[in-house]
Amino acid sequence: MQRENFGSRFGAIMAMAGSAIGLGNMWRFPYLVGEYGGAAFIFIYILFSFLLSLPILYCEFIIGRRSQKNAFGAFKELAPGTKWKWVGALSVIAPVIITSYYCVIGGWSVEYFFRSCTFSFTSNSDGMDLTNMFGSFISSTWAPLFGHTLFLLLTAVVVGKGIKGGIEKFGKVMMPVLFIVVILIAVRSMTLSGASEGISYLFKPDFSKIDGKVCAAALGQSFFSLSLGCGTMLTYASYVSRKENIASSGASTAVADLCFAMIAGCAIMPAVFAFGLSPQSGPGLVFETLPLIFSQMPAGGIVAILFFLALLIAAVTSSISMFEVGVAYCVEERGMSRKWACVTIFMITWVLGILCSLSFGPLSDVKLFGNTIFNFFDKLSANYLMTIGSLLVVLFVGWKMKKADVEDEFTNGGTFPANRRLFKVLWLIIRWIAPLAILVIFLSNLIGL
Ligand code: PHE
């Protein structure tokens, strides 16, 4: 059977940027910046993104495009008869786990988008109420499940339409809209009086704040934001044409992701400071603090609609990419039709997602290793699965694949001279720097340094 590919370079980049840009940029990044001290965290984050994450992204591109297979099949194809296929298995299981809890937050965005459309933040200016609103919403049983189901259905429908007609088309239309909307919000936020304090919080680093914890958080966030270590980019790369320059597609994806995170930061932090609120409110920043701001800001009702629309688009394009990993596996390794593969992955992630959602309310007493189900899934994926997955991917490319094959794939058989020059540095990073750096940061975080 002929495998489907992305139809154009722009489409492929939009799909990959769509995967990278998501709740990680709009929800996780801003609250981590708040928790870990602002610009110093951003500085380390940028450093890691280009020094470690981009090379790992290239490794995933190399494995995916060379094998032209799903995440499990790719390792079987490139290292037949070896234990590396278990890395493939991990790469299929990880995104299923991530999708399960990611779609719960996606469901919250659905709900908040609906609420913003009925102007429920602006018509209700009682600050206390808005803060309680989030807590009582996520701990309720049915409302979050409704949003979650809707969000997951949307994801499944787009993936069900295939690579070109579903994923690529959706990304090509939605990603430019997303950028425009977030830029508009950033302009609004940065022109509020008192916004300058928020801007310096983002751009003036205090290097004394950097420690092991900040580094581990920045590395985890950088992997999460570039969708690394869980088969996603690998699977997308397997749909990229052999003629494409993967060095430039990868760099475009990473730059788009970083720019978007910064724009999202500029949309949120200046407003938080302008209204004298704390940037350190953790995961509730976007769902608790922002509605409060929208309720007081001039034109806040419209800004709220735009913001939650953007959050929703960003989240869907990412969940689509995770969903596709499992679907590609079911189609290519289990011989299912695309439709049945979508139904299967939907059912698995839906049931796990229900457990995650209920863990804020009725199931809040159920603890896995001391965490609620949602927190367990979140920590398991961001702190362990993605880091270990990324480590195994660089080790595979650097130590298992033949150097000549890696170079051949990265330079398209030597036809891109600039890539040949870049490869010398890349090879050093892939073989030595990245594995050692990941290991050191991972272990130091594990033993609590
Ligand atoms: N990169 C996405 C984000 O920033 C999350 C993601 C993780 C997507 C893993 C796919 C795979 O929100």
What secondary structure, in 3-state letters, does the chain show?
CCCCCCCCHHHHHHHHHHHHCCHHHHHHHHHHHHHCCCHHHHHHHHHHHHHHHHHHHHHHHHHHHHHCCCHHHHHHHHCCCCCCHHHHHHHHHHHHHHHHHHHHHHHHHHHHHHHHHCCCCCCCCCHHHHHHHHHHHHCCCHHHHHHHHHHHHHHHHHHHCCHHHHHHHHHHHHHHHHHHHHHHHHHHHHCCCCCHHHHHHHHCCCHHHCCHHHHHHHHHHHHHHCCCCCCHHHHHHCCCCCCCCHHHHHHHHHHHHHHHHHHHHHHHHHHHHHCCCCCCCHHHHHHHHHHHHHHHCCCHHHHHHHHHHHHHHHHHHHHHHHHHHHHHHHHHHHCCCHHHHHHHHHHHHHHHHHHHHHCCCCCCCCEECCEEHHHHHHHHHHHHHHHHHHHHHHHHHHHHCCHHHHHHHHCCCCCCHHHHHHHHHHHHHHHHHHHHHHHHHHHHHHCCC
The span from the CA of 255 to the CA of 226, in Å, is 10
The span from the CA of 121 to the CA of 132, in Å, is 12
1 in any annotated domain: no
Q: Which residues contact 93 (CB under 8 A, 6 or more apart)?
A: none
Residue among 104, 225, 226, 258 to mutate when testing ligand 1 (max atoms within 8 A of CB): 225
The CA distances from residue 221 to 105, 233, 441, in Å, are 17, 16, 13
Nearest residue (CA) to ligand 1, atom 7: 227
Centre of ligand 1 to C-alpha 276, Å, is: 31
Phi, psi (deg, nearest 5) at residue 229 = 70, 15
74 in any annotated domain: yes
Q: Which of 243, 283, 240, 253 is nearest to 382 (CA)?
A: 283
Q: Which of 342, 264, 257, 325 is nearest to 16 (CA)?
A: 257
Q: Are the C-beta atoms of residues 96 and 345 closer than 8 Å to each other?
A: yes
Instruction: Count up the domains in the chain and report the number.
Output: 1
Nearest residue (CA) to ligand 1, atom 11: 227
The CA distances from residue 343 to 94, 100, 323, in Å, are 18, 14, 11
Look at residue 449 in the predicted model and tell me its pLDDT. Answer: 57
Look at residue 393 in the predicted model and tell me its pLDDT. Answer: 98
Look at residue 433 in the predicted model and tell me its pLDDT. Answer: 97
The span from the CA of 8 to the CA of 381, in Å, is 32
Centre of ligand 1 to C-alpha 380, Å, is: 14
438 in any annotated domain: yes
Look at residue 326 in the predicted model and tell me its pLDDT. Answer: 98
3 in any annotated domain: no
Answer left, alpha or beta for residue 372, where phi above 0 means left and psi between -120 and 50 means alpha.
beta
> Measured from the CA of 321, which atom of ligand 1 is nearest?
10
Phi, psi (deg, nearest 5) at residue 409 = -70, -40
> Measured from the CA of 27, which atom of ligand 1 is nearest?
12
Look at residue 448 in the predicted model and tell me its pLDDT. Answer: 65
Centre of ligand 1 to C-alpha 21, Å, is: 7
Look at residue 383 in the predicted model and tell me its pLDDT. Answer: 80
131 in any annotated domain: yes
Structure tokens at 411: 């330079």
Residues within 6 Å of ligand 1 by CB: 19-20, 22-25, 95, 98, 224-225, 227, 230, 232, 318, 321-322
Look at residue 1 in the predicted model and tell me its pLDDT. Answer: 60
Centre of ligand 1 to C-alpha 20, Å, is: 5
70 in any annotated domain: yes
Residues in the chain where the model's pLDDT stays below 70:
1, 124-128, 448-449
Look at residue 131 in the predicted model and tell me its pLDDT. Answer: 72
Domain at 44, CATH number? 1.10.4160.10
Centre of ligand 1 to C-alpha 94, Å, is: 11
4 in any annotated domain: no
Domain that holds residue 439: 9-448
Look at residue 2 in the predicted model and tell me its pLDDT. Answer: 72
Nearest residue (CA) to ligand 1, atom 9: 227
69 in any annotated domain: yes
